[in-house]
């Protein structure tokens, strides 16, 4: 009987603990002197949301769980971003997102009307996150064929189940952060989320918050499905300019808070600080207090060293009540020796006048000896009419023929242009892609408020498997830090990168919207003045007789006076 | 509000057992009789109820069933013999001396649609009893007035009546476990089992009324909006009744809206107080602790405080593991659910005995009670919706009514007419279905995006645009009018100067 005693109790605990929360903060000094902080909160739930029977939530937020179950979502990725990640200067981000709002969703094969589900989903998400996602409609939704593959478990990749939309005009602010924080099991009351103070987070060069929901393998054998919710938040603080040229920083300086306690629900809670030595110089920087451990990993082709603070380890809070990670540079570092990322890109609008223009994209491959292909996805609104015959791709002075092109022309007021190309980038090269367009005239009701501000064209998306300089070894996804594990790593020799270029701001021929009112005012005034003088003429009685012949008005008046039976003037 | 005239017909069979036939029957059995009752709500809303009574004597089978030892046995034996249609009632009259009913009890209401009534001395006494039972088992003037609470003038309705949930096509029930202090308590609740065991049977029964979906969540660090008062005498914390309205708001923000559906949400919250605030008790208006330690909020849901016993030794390691006693919790929540639906079993004379609904949580006649109220409410809602739609159309002359909106309006009118007709025929179930369809159609028409008021250019703005025309044109006219006035005055003053 004693032996049997703990049995059901243990089973009960096992049953309840089917979900787990891991939280993680990655602090990485950027080459320019800025500091990037990346939060990741991962809730994993060993239950199949799709089966419909699940309705009892613990750590997984109910609002999102119900959404996934009700609308047949297979995978959902939503990012709200303010600012632009400068890949050229900041290096490869762990997670990048385009400026504005980005939403891409894979639906289940059981969903019959994907467009309807997509519309409903974007409306509900806009309610949950207080964002204008309800502006997603057919004019900004595309179905990419190659760029976006499911990141989680998927048995089919029929791209008709995929929808992708970007709203580059979306402004991200506190009202988007609050609902995002509310989805965390500990809210912002304990754990790493304590640092998420809105007034500091939005006082930064770059702010990007995202939600990723996907099904993952429950274990190595992958016989059952678990659902994973990743909430990520990336901020870039500019300390170089505000800190009198010093690159020293601390948690308190960044967030004006320190870590005091852990979230009791988290099964892992860690702070990683990137202390990788640059240019083989040893130990340029110094972190305090002493880290719990040192983690070495190969992240995005680079060997990195991280100082790890495990908030769950009892020794950490024993010595002091709060954790304020500080970083000091031992000697000033000259910023000229910035490493240049292997793949980066740039985009701009060329041309003059309000009739035609040209979109230019420059893609750089700085790898010394390896060529690699990249998939470029361009979504252009219908009011920029692309001329596909003007599409030119030039690398090192020669024409570069893409090995795959998918082009879907726009339909006015119905759908945008979609251009997807697979382009081979030779080693150490710059590829210039240009395409000309004509600006369409919109109907007067179609202009947004403040049309002279210009019209945004969403970022183009570059997806590539970038060859790695150092070989990577396969690691267990469950054990490795969260920031390495969202994108699947294919093999040891290359790593996946998704880059977004700058959004474009294009001026369209804009009518003077006050014109109709001006015209009404002017004509009305003229009519009123004429009316007034005529009225005076017709109603006044003139007494003074002039010897000279009267003008036209007088003769007209005399004619009328004759009709009236009054003696003429 | 738009005029609503409804007649509710309740078919009742009054069955006389052997030895219970009163002496002063006007006619030999069987015979029919009709009684009408007027329920006044307001001037434009009239609800008449019409009880169609059929008096007859028992059949042999019923007689055998009535010979059972207890009322409960008789009730279950009589059930297969009755008219099972919704809304119809059967009263079995037992002799005055019958031992079927306990001492002092004159009326026994069973689990289904029947009641046992002790025969009075006269037919009039019996009829008074029958009327009372009928009202309990179908509807009372108050329950109808509560259903039409939007139309009842303020102050005439008891506050209780306003707590009932509005009729809807569906409801979402959310059980939330609030654990504000996960550092000291790990709370586990077997909500899945409890829902299957206690809530499901009730909802299965209620599925006739509306669609129900049930889910649950656990919210951490969710605190009540009020800091409880420490009471030294009992060394416990107290929440007084007047502070309860402030409790819900901060919690509500965490509950999460039902983004995926439009149905109203019923929230049932189980609050495990922080260690620094336990034990926590709710006080009623007189300062006495509430025995269930729970309270409900009208049309919103209920909250129960679940105190964790302090560990025997203060050195016990934190967090403390708590397994919630779901039977205790669900008992409270189910009682609150009944309250929210207006199915409380209070306010009955002592001579009434109500059979407990048992496992199903709901007797058949209670279901009818809901259906009556909801049908009347739906009809009133449709009438209000369509009237306001008509008012909107009157206000904007150039509004465009699309064909599908028009057909929804026609369908709503047809359905509501059929609902009223079915009610007058005593077909409760089909009347309820028709009224539901009418609500759906009328809401669809009313909330059609093409009928948005703002889509139409208001007339006053059109005038504003032409002000640059009208204003300068008005100046000479006004000036000459002023001149004419001046001249006429001059002329009156000085008539000789006229030429």
Residue-wise DSSP of A486-511: SSPP-BTTEEEEEEE-PPEEE-----
The alpha-carbon gap from B18 to the nearest alpha carbon of chain A, in Å, equals 53
Residue where the block lists tokens 């060293």: A305
CA–CA separation, B249 vs B251, rounded Å? Answer: 5
Picking from A87-96, A424-433, A451-460, A466-475, which range would have the lowest pLDDT averaged per residue?
Answer: A466-475
- pLDDT tens profile B265-294: 899 999 999 888 878 898 888 888 888 888
Give contacts of A525 with chain B, Cβ < 8 Å: 468, 472
Number of Cβ within 10 Å of residue B194's Cβ equals 20
Cβ-nearest to B218 among A58, A264, A520: A58
Angle, CA B192 vertex, CA B190 and CA B195 arms, to 5°: 105
Over the stretch B172-190, which tens digit does the pLDDT of each residue have? 899 999 998 888 888 888 8
pLDDT for the residue B392? 85
User: In the prediction, which pLDDT does A462 show?
Assistant: 93
User: A205-223 in b/e burial notation, b at 16+ Cβ within 10 A?
Assistant: bbbbbbbbbbbbbbeeeee
Higher pLDDT, A191 or B24: A191
Can you tell me the mean pLDDT for B434-447? 93
Average pLDDT over residues B199-216: 89
pTM, full prediction:
0.85
Residue B21's pLDDT is what?
A: 82
* Contact predicate A322/A310, CB 8 Å: no
Q: Which candidate from A124, A190, A532 shows the least CB-CB separation from B259?
A: A124
Pairing of strands B265-271, B294-297: unpaired
Mean pLDDT of A222-230: 88
Model confidence at A2, in pLDDT bands (50, 70, 90)? very low
- Roughly what angle, to the nearest 10 degrees, separates helices B123-137 and B364-395? 60
Beta-ladder partners of B13: B54, B90
- Going by C-alpha positions, the residue among A139, A280, A124 that lies closest to residue A211 is A124
Interchain CB contact of B258 with A (< 8 Å): yes
Let me know: does A21 contact A41? Beta carbons within 8 Å: yes
pLDDT at A42: 92
Query: How far apart are the C-alpha atoms of A171 and A211, rounded to whole Å?
Result: 17
A16 to chain B: which residues are within 8 Å by CB? 188
Tokens matching residue A477 = 């996804």
Is there a contact between A524 and B182 if contact means CB atoms under 8 Å apart? Answer: no
Count of CA atoms in the C-beta half-sphere (13 A) of A463: 14
Predicted confidence (pLDDT) at residue B261 exceeds the cutoff of 80: no
Residue-by-residue DSSP string for B380-428: HHHHHHHHHHHHHHHH-TTPPPPHHHHHHHHHHHHHHHHHHHHHHHT-H
A326-329 and A302-310 beta bridge pairing: unpaired
DSSP secondary structure letter of residue A113: -
Question: In angstroms, what separates the C-alpha of B297 from chain A's closest C-alpha?
Answer: 22
pLDDT at B436 over 90: yes
A325 CB burial (10 A radius; 0-12, 13-18, 19+): buried
Task: Say if the ipTM goes beyond 0.85.
Answer: no
Least confident interval from B197-201, B353-357, B381-385: B353-357
Mean pLDDT over residues A552-563, rounded?
Answer: 84
pLDDT tens readout for residues A90-145: 888 878 899 999 999 999 988 899 999 999 999 999 989 999 999 999 999 999 99
Rounded to whole angstroms, the Cα distance separating B184 from B211 reads 39
Asked if the model's pLDDT at residue B394 lies above 70, the reply is: yes
Q: What is the pLDDT of residue B382?
A: 93
Q: For residue B260, give the 3-state DSSP assignment.
A: coil
Q: Give B97's pLDDT tier (boundaries 50, 70, 90).
A: confident
**Which is more confidently placed, B277 or A484?**
B277
* B35 — pLDDT class (breaks 50, 70, 90): confident
What average pLDDT does range A145-173 have in this prediction?
Answer: 87
pLDDT value, residue A482: 73
Sign of the alpha-carbon torsion through B409, B413, B418, B423: positive
Q: Which fold has domain B170-341?
A: Collagenase (Catalytic Domain) (3.40.390)
Cβ proximity of B295 and B283 under 8 Å = no
Confidence of residue B244 (pLDDT cuts 50, 70, 90): confident
Which residue is listed with tokens 């992958």? Answer: A222
User: Which residue in A16, A61, A527 is closest to B188 by CB distance?
Assistant: A16
Q: Taking CA atoms, what residue in B is nearest to A123?
A: B259
For tokens 């965490």, the residue is B254
User: What is the per-residue pLDDT for A278?
Assistant: 65
Question: Which pLDDT belongs to residue A54?
Answer: 59
In the beta sheet, which residues pair with residue A306?
A274, A295
Contact check, Cβ <8 Å, B476/A531:
yes
Rounded (5°) CA angle A328-A332-A333: 105
Q: Is pLDDT above 90 for A436?
A: yes
pLDDT at B369: 86
Q: How far is B280 from chain A (nearest CA, A)?
A: 22
State the average pLDDT for chain A: 84
B78 phi, psi to nearest 5 deg: -80, -25
What pLDDT score was predicted for residue A119? 94
Residue A15 has pLDDT above 70, yes or no: no
The pLDDT assigned to A39 comes to 93
Higher per-residue pLDDT: B240 or A380: A380
| Nearest beta carbon to residue A521 from set B218, B260, B468 | B468
Query: For residue range B153-171, what is the model confidence (pLDDT) as tens digits?
Result: 666 666 666 667 888 888 9
Which range, A424-433, B37-46, B485-494, is most confident? A424-433
Average the pLDDT over A277-296 and give the result: 74
Give B368-452's CATH code, choosing from 1.25.10, 3.40.190, 1.20.1270, 1.10.10: 1.20.1270
Identify the band that residue A14 occupies on the pLDDT scale cut at 50, 70 and 90: very low
Mean pLDDT, rounded, for B79-86: 80
Q: Quick check: B84 pLDDT over 60?
A: yes
pLDDT for the residue B385:
92
Closest by Cα among A340, A241, A198 to A35: A241
Specify whether the CB–CB gap between A127 and A104 falls below 8 A: no
Domain ranges of chain B: 170-341, 368-452, 457-493
Contacts of A224 (CB under 8 A, 6+ apart): A46, A48, A217, A218
Give dist(CA B117, CA B129) in Å, integer: 7
- Taking the C-alpha atoms of residue B244 and residue B241, their distance in angstroms, rounded to an integer, is 5
Question: Among all residues of chain B, which has the CA nearest to that of A53?
Answer: B215
Residue A185 to residue B220, Cβ atoms within 8 A: yes
- 3-class secondary-structure state, position B170: strand
Query: B189: closest CA among B248, B275, B268?
Result: B268
The mean-pLDDT minimum among A168-172, B142-146, B191-195 falls in B142-146
- Quick one: A197 exposed, middle or buried, by C-beta within 10 A (0-12, 13-18, 19+)? middle
Query: Across-strand partners of B89?
Result: B12
Q: Which of these, A79, A106, A47, lies nearest to A227 by C-alpha position?
A: A47
Burial of B213 (0-12, 13-18, 19+ CB in 10 A): middle
DSSP state of B194: H
Chain B residues in contact with A536 by the CB 8 A cut-off are 476
Q: Provide the pLDDT for residue A568.
A: 77
pLDDT higher than threshold 90 for residue A290: no
Q: How confident is the model at residue A279 (pLDDT cuts 50, 70, 90)?
A: low
pLDDT more than 90, % of chain B: 17
Better pLDDT: B29 or B454: B29
Across residues B79-96, what is the average pLDDT?
A: 83
> Does residue A433 have a pLDDT over 90?
yes
Q: Considering only CB atoms, which chain A residues are within 8 Å of B477?
A: 535
Q: Which residue has the higher pLDDT, B346 or A315?
A: A315
Is residue B254's pLDDT more than 90?
no
In this predicted model, which residue has the larger pLDDT, B458 or B161? B458
Helix (H) or strand (E) holding A197: none
d(Cα A48, Cα A339) in Å, to the nearest integer?
A: 44
Q: Classify burial at A139, counting beta carbons within 10 Å of its beta carbon; exposed 0-12, middle 13-18, buried 19 or more.
A: middle
- pLDDT of A335 above 60: no
Report chain B's mean pLDDT, rounded to a whole number. 84
Cβ of residue B220 closer than 8 Å to a chain A Cβ? yes
Q: Note which residues in 319-348 of chain B have CB less than 8 A from chain A.
A: 319, 323
Q: What is the pLDDT of residue A213?
A: 93
Q: Which of A12, A16, A55 sits opposite B216 (nearest CB)?
A: A55
Q: Do A265 and B466 touch (CB under 8 A)?
A: no
Q: Strand, helix or coil at B13?
A: strand
Beta carbons of A150 and A60 less than 8 angstroms apart: no
Checking if the pLDDT of A63 tops 90, the result is no
How confident is the model at residue A9, as a pLDDT?
37
CATH class held by domain A343-506: mainly beta
Residue B76 has what pLDDT?
Answer: 85
Give residue B316's pLDDT.
67
Per-residue pLDDT band at A13 (split at 50, 70, 90): very low
pLDDT band at B418; cut points 50, 70, 90: very high
Q: With contact defined as beta carbons under 8 Å apart, do A230 and A193 qualify?
A: no
Residue contact B476–A532, C-beta within 8 A: yes
User: Cα angle at A512 between A509 and A513, to 5 degrees?
Assistant: 115
Chain A residues closer than 8 Å to B472 by CB: 524-525, 528-529, 531-532
pLDDT at A295: 85
Domain boundaries, chain A: 21-246, 343-506
Minimal Cα–Cα distance from A326 to chain B, Å?
28
Query: Is the CB of A124 less than 8 angstroms away from the CB of B183?
Result: no
- Which pLDDT score is estimated for B154? 66
pLDDT at B58: 86
d(CA B260, nearest CA chain A) in Å: 6
Residue A5: the pLDDT is: 34
**pLDDT score recorded for residue B156:** 66
State which H helix or E strand residue B122 sits in. none
pLDDT-derived band at A281, boundaries 50, 70, 90: low
Which of A71, A329, A396 lies closest to B261, judged by CA?
A: A71
Q: Which residues contact B255 (CB under 8 A, 6 or more apart)?
A: B174, B176, B219, B265, B267
Beta bridge partners of A214: A228
Q: What is the mean pLDDT of residues A291-302?
A: 81
Which of A16, A66, A527 comes nearest B469 by C-beta?
A527
């Amino acid at each position: 009987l004693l032996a049997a005693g703990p049995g059901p109790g243990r089973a009960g605990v096992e049953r309840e603990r089917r979900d787990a929360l891991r939280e993680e903060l990655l602090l990485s000094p950027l080459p320019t002197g800025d500091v990037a902080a990346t939060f990741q909160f991962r809730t994993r739930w060993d239950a199949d949301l799709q089966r419909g029977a699940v309705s009892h939530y613990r750590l997984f937020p109910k609002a999102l769980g119900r959404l996934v179950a009700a609308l047949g979502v297979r995978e959902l990725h939503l990012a709200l971003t303010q600012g632009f990640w400068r890949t050229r200067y900041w290096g490869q981000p762990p997670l990048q997102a385009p400026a504005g709002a980005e939403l891409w969703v894979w639906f289940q094969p059981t969903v019959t009307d994907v467009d309807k589900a997509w519309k409903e989903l974007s409306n509900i998400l806009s309610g949950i996150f207080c964002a204008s996602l309800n502006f997603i409609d057919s004019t900004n939704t595309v179905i990419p064929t190659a760029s976006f593959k499911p990141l989680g478990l998927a048995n089919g990749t029929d791209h008709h189940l995929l929808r992708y939309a970007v709203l580059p005009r979306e402004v991200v602010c506190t009202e988007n952060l609050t609902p995002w924080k509310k989805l965390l099991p500990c809210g912002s009351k304990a754990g790493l989320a304590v640092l998420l103070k809105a007034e500091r987070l939005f006082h930064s060069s770059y702010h990007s918050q995202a939600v990723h929901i996907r099904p993952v393998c429950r274990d190595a054998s992958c016989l059952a499905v678990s659902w994973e919710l990743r909430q990520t938040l990336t901020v870039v603080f500019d300390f170089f300019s505000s800190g009198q040229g010093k690159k020293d920083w601390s948690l308190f300086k960044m967030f004006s808070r320190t870590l005091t306690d852990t979230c009791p629900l988290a099964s892992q809670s860690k702070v990683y600080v990137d202390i990788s030595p640059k240019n083989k110089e040893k130990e340029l920087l110094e972190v305090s207090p002493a880290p719990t451990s040192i983690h070495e990993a190969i992240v995005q082709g680079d060997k990195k060293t991280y100082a790890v603070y495990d908030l769950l380890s009892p020794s950490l809070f024993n010595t002091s009540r709060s954790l304020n990670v500080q970083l000091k540079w031992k000697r000033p570092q000259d910023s000229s020796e910035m490493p240049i990322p292997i793949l980066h890109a740039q985009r701009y609008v060329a041309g003059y006048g309000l009739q035609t223009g040209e979109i230019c994209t420059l893609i750089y491959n700085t790898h010394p000896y390896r060529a690699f292909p990249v998939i470029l996805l361009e979504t252009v609104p219908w009011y920029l009419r692309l001329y596909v015959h003007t599409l030119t791709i030039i690398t090192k002075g020669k024409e570069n023929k893409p090995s795959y092109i998918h082009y879907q022309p726009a339909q006015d007021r119905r759908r945008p242009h979609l251009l997807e190309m697979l382009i081979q980038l030779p080693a150490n090269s710059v590829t210039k892609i240009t395409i000309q367009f004509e600006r369409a005239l919109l109907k007067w009701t179609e202009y947004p408020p403040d049309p002279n501000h210009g019209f945004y064209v969403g970022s183009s998306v570059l997806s590539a498997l970038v060859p790695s300089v150092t070989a990577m070894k396969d690691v267990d996804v469950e054990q490795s830090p969260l920031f390495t594990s969202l994108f699947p790593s294919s093999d040891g020799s290359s790593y996946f990168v998704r880059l977004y270029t700058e959004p474009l701001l294009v001026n369209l021929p804009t009518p003077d919207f006050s014109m109709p009112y001006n015209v009404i005012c002017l004509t009305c005034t003229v009519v009123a003045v004429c009316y007034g003088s005529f009225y005076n003429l017709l109603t006044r009685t003139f007494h003074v007789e002039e010897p000279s012949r009267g003008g036209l008005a007088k003769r007209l008046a005399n004619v009328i006076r004759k009709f009236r039976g009054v003696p003429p003037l | 509000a738009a005029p609503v005239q409804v007649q509710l017909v309740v078919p009742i069979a009054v069955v006389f057992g052997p030895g219970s036939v009163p002496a002063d029957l006007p006619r030999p059995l069987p015979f029919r009789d009709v009684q009408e009752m007027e329920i006044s709500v307001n001037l434009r809303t009239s609800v008449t109820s019409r009880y169609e009574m059929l008096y007859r004597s028992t059949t042999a089978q019923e007689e055998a069933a009535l010979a059972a030892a207890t009322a409960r046995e008789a009730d279950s034996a009589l059930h297969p013999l009755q008219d099972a249609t919704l809304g119809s009632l059967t009263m079995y009259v037992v002799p005055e001396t019958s031992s079927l009913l306990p001492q002092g009890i004159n009326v026994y209401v069973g689990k289904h649609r029947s009641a046992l009534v002790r025969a009075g001395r006269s037919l009039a006494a019996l009829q008074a009893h029958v009327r009372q039972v009928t009202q309990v088992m179908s509807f009372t003037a108050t329950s109808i007035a509560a259903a039409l609470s939007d139309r009842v003038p303020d102050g005439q309705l008891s506050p209780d009546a306003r707590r009932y949930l509005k009729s809807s096509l569906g409801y979402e029930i959310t059980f939330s476990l609030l654990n504000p202090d996960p550092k000291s308590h790990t709370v586990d609740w077997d909500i899945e089992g409890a829902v299957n065991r206690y809530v499901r049977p009730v909802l299965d029964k209620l599925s006739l009324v509306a669609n129900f979906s049930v889910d649950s969540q656990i919210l951490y660090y969710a605190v009540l909006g009020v800091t409880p008062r420490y009471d030294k005498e009992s060394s416990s914390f107290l929440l007084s009744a007047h502070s309860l309205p402030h409790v819900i708001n901060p919690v509500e923000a965490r509950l999460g809206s039902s983004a995926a559906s439009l149905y109203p949400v019923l929230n049932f919250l189980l609050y495990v107080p922080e260690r620094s605030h336990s034990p926590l008790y709710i006080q009623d208006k007189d300062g006495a602790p509430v025995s269930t330690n729970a309270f409900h909020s009208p049309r919103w849901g209920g909250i129960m405080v679940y105190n964790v016993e302090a560990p025997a030794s203060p050195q016990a390691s934190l967090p403390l593991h708590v397994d919630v006693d779901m039977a205790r919790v669900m008992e409270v929540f189910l009682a609150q659910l009944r309250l929210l639906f207006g199915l409380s079993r209070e306010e009955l004379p002592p001579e009434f005995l109500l059979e407990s609904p048992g496992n199903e949580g709901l007797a058949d006649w209670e279901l009818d009670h809901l259906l009556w109220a909801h049908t009347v409410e739906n009809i009133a809602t449709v009438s209000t919706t369509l009237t306001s739609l008509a008012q909107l159309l009157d206000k904007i002359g150039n509004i465009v009514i699309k064909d599908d909106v028009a057909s929804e309006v026609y369908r709503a009118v047809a359905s509501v007419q059929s609902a009223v007709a079915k009610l007058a025929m005593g077909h409760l179930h089909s009347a309820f279905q028709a009224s539901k369809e009418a609500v759906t159609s009328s809401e669809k028409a009313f909330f059609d995006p093409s009928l948005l008021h703002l889509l139409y250019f208001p007339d006053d703005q059109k005038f504003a645009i032409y002000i640059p025309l009208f204003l300068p044109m008005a100046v000479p006219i006004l000036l000459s009018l002023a001149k004419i006035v001046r001249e006429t005055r001059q002329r009156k003053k000085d008539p000789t100067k006229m030429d």
